Amino acid sequence: MRDRVSVDSVAFARDASELRATVAIADLPRLHDVLFDQSGEIAYGLTGAVNKDGIASLRLEIAADLLMTCQRCLGPVKFSLKSARKFILVPQAQALGDPAEEPDDVERIHVDAELDVAGLVEDETLLCLPMVAGHQPGECSPPLAEGGESDMKSPFSSLAILKRQ
Ligand SMILES: [Zn+2]
């Protein structure tokens, strides 16, 4: 695994820093089980800010074309991921509070002097992926092992032939 990028989250916000990079899916092991394969990468942008009340936050945007496994044909199906979320930085000593009280696109995380940026991208990707993926109805058919019905005679018709003999 390559070196992971880490940032001091408070300094990053205070300096209004900006980081744009990509991370390879091969380097995000928690995605391997949910994706079709380990190809591709995720582009992300991380920007820091401190608002007028002194509240530090990070904004993470991610975008990627990912391959998930179609639940019908078990083949690859493309999923275009695009998401943006704001992370409010909460001092270590403070509780994060109830996530239900925050809007969907805002989350609270603890201040971290070595925030693992790829880990944050990985978390965000897992949150955004659909539970099940599939092609549009009619665009694919199940693998033959599931029973290709049309050309096969039903077991009852061959039974009828046996009885006649
Ligand atoms: Zn399919």
Gap from CA of 66 to ligand 1 centroid (Å)? 15
Inside any domain, residue 1 = no
52 three-state secondary structure: coil
Gap from CA of 4 to ligand 1 centroid (Å)? 35
* Residue appearing with tokens 């239900």: 100
The parts of the chain modelled with pLDDT lower than 70 are 1-3, 145-165
* Domain interval for residue 48: 6-164
Gap from CA of 124 to ligand 1 centroid (Å)? 25
Inside any domain, residue 47 = yes
Q: How far apart, in whole angstroms, are the C-alpha atoms of residue 4 and residue 23?
A: 9
Gap from CA of 96 to ligand 1 centroid (Å)? 41
Total of domains in the chain: 1
| 47 CB neighbour count, 10 Å cutoff | 17
> What was the pLDDT predicted at 151?
46
Q: Report every protein residue that has its C-beta within 5 angstroms of ion ligand 1.
A: 70, 72-73, 135, 140
> What was the pLDDT predicted at 102?
81
Q: How far apart, in whole angstroms, are the C-alpha atoms of residue 146 and residue 57?
A: 50
For the segment 44-59, what is each residue's pLDDT rounded down to a tens digit?
Answer: 999 999 999 999 999 9
Inside any domain, residue 120 = yes
Q: How far apart, in whole angstroms, are the C-alpha atoms of residue 96 and residue 108?
A: 6
- Contacts for 76 with CB less than 8 Å, ≥ 6 apart: 36, 37, 67, 68, 69, 70
Gap from CA of 142 to ligand 1 centroid (Å)? 7
Q: How far apart, in whole angstroms, are the C-alpha atoms of residue 116 and residue 121?
A: 9
| 13 CB neighbour count, 10 Å cutoff | 24
Gap from CA of 127 to ligand 1 centroid (Å)? 23
